Amino acid sequence: MPPRLKYGQLAPEGLERMTALEHYLNRDAGLPALLRELVRLLASTLNGCEYCVRVHTAELRKLNQPEERIAELAGWRSSMLYTEPERAALDWTVALTNIQQGHAPDPVYDKLREHFSEVEIVNLTLTITTINAWNRLAIALGNHSQRG
């Protein structure tokens, strides 16, 4: 399906700022690349953003993640392939992506605090928020490859 709008051409400053946030998250936020890509893939899967699913699956492969871990991400709750910190981050991803279903419940946040510092929680939340924004842009207006 062709893009509805070439949003990168129509609002380049806004897209540049979102991209700048992505660069910060990728370089300076102190979160491991693996964790960032796991939450990005899970959010993209939950949102049904096929383009983003392909991108973040490829990123996990570049990080040498086993195919089984990538494939089981959608069913992470019943899988033993994820560490406790990853599970806390994935649960936070679900809560924030599906915010209308529980408004980031305290038990999910409390579990997150067991594994991450306050700064890491902010940066993880920014990572989840940003991928949700990219997903919504891609779904509503066209995939990321159509930005420019």
Residue 35 forms part of a structural domain: yes
4 lies in some domain? no
User: Which of 66, 42, 61 is closest to 52 using CA atoms?
Assistant: 42
pLDDT at 148: 36
53-96 per-position pLDDT tens digit: 999 999 999 999 999 999 999 999 999 999 999 999 999 999 99
- Determine phi and psi for 30, rounding to 5 degrees: 80, 10
Report if residue 62 sits inside a domain: yes
Q: What is d(CA 55, CA 49) in angstroms, rounded to the nearest whole number?
A: 10
**CATH code, domain with 120:** 1.20.1290.10
pLDDT given for residue 145 in this prediction: 52
Domain count of the fold of the chain: 1
Assigned domain for 2 exists: no
- Is residue 92 packed enough to be buried (19+ CB in 10 Å), middle (13-18) or exposed (0-12)? buried
- Residue 137: give the domain boundaries: 11-143
What's the residue count for the chain? 148
pTM: 0.93
Is 136 inside any structural domain? yes
Residue 43 domain-assigned (yes or no): yes
